[in-house]
Structure 1
Amino acid sequence: MVRYKIGDIVSRKSYNNDIIFKVIDVKEEEDKISYILKGTNFRIIADSPEDDLEQSSEEEFIKQNESVDKRVMDIVKDKDNLFRGEEVRNKKKSKKNIRRFGMAPTVLHLDGDEEYLEICLKAYKSIGLRAFGKVVPEIEQSRLVQEYLNRYKPDILVLTGHDSVVKDCNNFKSLDSYRNSKYFAEAVRKARQFESSYDELVIFAGACQSYYEEIIKAGANYATSPYRILVHALDPVLVCEKIAFTSITKFLSPKEVLQNTITGEKGVGGLETRGQYREGSPPSPYN
């Protein structure tokens, strides 16, 4: 008899119940029942036998959400300027630049998780970024990425969803040791065939525990996860935010970009990348 159903909130006893998951699928083979799990705050997907699971209470779910939300707020600090690029904020406040205006880049975000995509799209909107989002399973992203790039002509591309290191992994340098990293890497390669310039198309790719080195090698500006740790659902947005609101005349170091993320350099890494914000002058007196 199946103990848990799709939508139930659970945690894994073997990992000291450190992460709360949602059950997204149940597999029954002979007398063996296993569950496919999705992180509720982190971009990880995992499978688990029934005897390793424990039902999480609503109080535990709320407690973990509050803990994660606090980490988010520790990063963004100022609620009134949530996610807003510091450089652009300062320039808007400066009287010397009162006659300036600017153009932010466009983002195309392909996500294997519909719920997380919705969260990210709301965040893009809140920071003033024009973003197009499509729910595309990780395995399908390489097939569809050029079609969507051609349709939307973005300046920044995000390829994400869920990932994880497979059980009993003994070789972190093999793509076979990761659930979805090979799909992210292939999608990045296809995107680079469409646009080879790291300045003309900025790419963020990966999810929890992804094969960072291989995704960077494939052509990403930023990727996850250098230390194979979990990454927050909003980390892609926070990377985009920093790059999008930095002047195109400036190159950002990875250190500058990663200060803007929740999981930091253990969760996200990348290359020096040109900002994507274009200033203009003068503004029309009719605006």
Structure 2
Amino acid sequence: MISKGDLVTRKSYQNDIIFRVQSTNGPLVKLVGEHVRLEADADIQDLQIVTGAEYHRRKEQVDQQESYSYRLFRQDYRLLKETRESEAGNGYTTGKEANYFQIPPRILHVDGDPLFLKKCIAVYEQLGLQVHGQYLHEKEMPGQIMSLIEKVQPEIVVITGHDSYSKAKGTTRELEAYRHSRYFVEAVRNIRHKYPNFDQMVIFAGACQSHFESLIKAGANFASSPERVNIHAVDPVYVAARVAYTSFMDHINIWEVIRNTISGESGLGGVETRGLLRIGIPYSKESQEDL
């Protein structure tokens, strides 16, 4: 008997993705991806319970992908750090160490999945970034996003959760054919109405198979999913982190952002954007505590 919380795969899709059972309604079961930001419905007869051994085998593959993505980001971070130290040291006499402080941007991460939100918060902390995380159902995001922004005062906003495209509801060009894309679009549009400057408020929006073009047109700097593919749970974090650790004096290389992610250019894209990190000199313990 399949019940809420069970891990399952869909036989009709060759058991390609592991899902969590979110709810059951007779023969219809609502599913959310265990590692990808995908939401789907399925007939209970189409589902197969995932064994512990199979789950751990697949999780090991996902862990390897996450580890590789994290290593890529750390490599880029070291290069960015070396650039900042070099620029901060230009005004010093030869041989004197450049002591500088940095002011990273505030991040608001709004997520339609509480488990994914918890995982993302852990990655932000691992990357040394401070973030305010908020769980909201995707349908609630347009109505509550502005009050959250007024409360947190972020420079980076991540709007994500679960999504999916249904061929039965229309073509890939029709927004109505997507489960939650319209809510992401409306939330982005609400933000841009008050914060039109793309370099002062940076927005990532979307989930698996989301309507990329509508999200960019609404005003997102970065979005998913250009080729309507699934994106990994933590991909939005790496996009936000790259913006957060790039100096506001520099433009972000979109390809360098995307290459840190697990999904790559099929799942993520964006427009030219400046970084949001500010550095200052000189550094002192007292001034850093005051900041």
In 1, Cα distance between the equivalents of 2:146 and 2:285?
A: 40
Summarize the alignment of residues 51-130 of structure 1 with structure 2, pairs less than 5 Å apart: 51-77=45-71, 85-91=77-83, 96=89, 98-130=98-130
Contact map agreement 1:83 1:241 (CA 8 A) in 2 = no
Inter-CA distance 71–285: structure 2 relative to 1 (3 Å threshold): closer
What residue is the counterpart of 2:4 in the other structure? 6
Cα RMSD for the two superposed structures: 1.9
In 2, Cα distance between the equivalents of 1:92 and 1:76?
A: 21
Deviations 1:162-193 (A, max 9, x none): 00012535411111110000000000000111
Deviations 1:77-99 (A, max 9, x none): 27xx8597234433577694631
Contact map agreement 2:143 2:187 (CA 8 A) in 1 = yes
Amino acid aligned to 2:164: S
1:279 equivalent to 2:271? Answer: no
Deviation at 1:76, TM superposition (A): 2.3
- Aligned to 1:274, the other structure's residue is in SS state coil
Inter-CA distance 232–45: structure 2 relative to 1 (3 Å threshold): same
What residue is the counterpart of 2:93 in the other structure? none
What residue is the counterpart of 1:25 in the other structure? 23
Summarize the alignment of residues 93-172 of structure 1 with structure 2, pairs less than 5 Å apart: 96=89, 98-172=98-172
What residue is the counterpart of 1:175 in the other structure? 175
Deviations 1:137-184 (A, max 9, x none): 100100001111111110000001000012535411111110000000
Which structure carries more helix by proportion?
2
Inter-CA distance 281–93: structure 2 relative to 1 (3 Å threshold): closer
Amino acid aligned to 1:123: V
Amino acid aligned to 1:38: V
Summarize the alignment of residues 197-216 of structure 1 with structure 2, pairs less than 5 Å apart: 197-216=197-216
What residue is the counterpart of 1:223 in the other structure? 223
Contact map agreement 1:87 1:246 (CA 8 A) in 2 = no
Contact map agreement 2:101 2:281 (CA 8 A) in 1 = yes
TM-score by length of 1: 0.92
Deviation at 1:204, TM superposition (A): 0.2
1:185 equivalent to 2:185? Answer: yes
Deviates more, 1:236-245 or 1:254-263: 254-263
Deviation at 1:63, TM superposition (A): 1.3
- Aligned to 2:168, the other structure's residue is in SS state coil
Deviations 1:15-73 (A, max 9, x none): 11010011010012xxxx11001110000010100121111101111111111111122
Contact map agreement 1:253 1:271 (CA 8 A) in 2 = no
In 2, Cα distance between the equivalents of 1:192 and 1:241?
A: 21
Task: Give the total of aligned pairs.
Answer: 279
Which among 34, 53, 61 is matched to residue 40 of structure 1?
34
- Aligned to 1:54, the other structure's residue is in SS state strand
Inter-CA distance 10–83: structure 2 relative to 1 (3 Å threshold): farther
In 2, Cα distance between the equivalents of 1:205 and 1:61?
A: 29
- Aligned to 1:46, the other structure's residue is in SS state strand
Amino acid aligned to 1:198: F
Contact map agreement 1:92 1:98 (CA 8 A) in 2 = no
Inter-CA distance 179–25: structure 2 relative to 1 (3 Å threshold): same
Unaligned runs of 5+ in 1: none
What residue is the counterpart of 1:250 in the other structure? 250
Contact map agreement 1:120 1:234 (CA 8 A) in 2 = yes
Deviation at 1:12, TM superposition (A): 0.5
Contact map agreement 1:43 1:162 (CA 8 A) in 2 = yes
Amino acid aligned to 1:57: T
- Aligned to 1:122, the other structure's residue is in SS state helix
What residue is the counterpart of 2:92 in the other structure? none
In 2, Cα distance between the equivalents of 1:16 and 1:82?
A: 35
In 2, Cα distance between the equivalents of 1:223 and 1:43?
A: 13
Contact map agreement 2:164 2:180 (CA 8 A) in 1 = yes
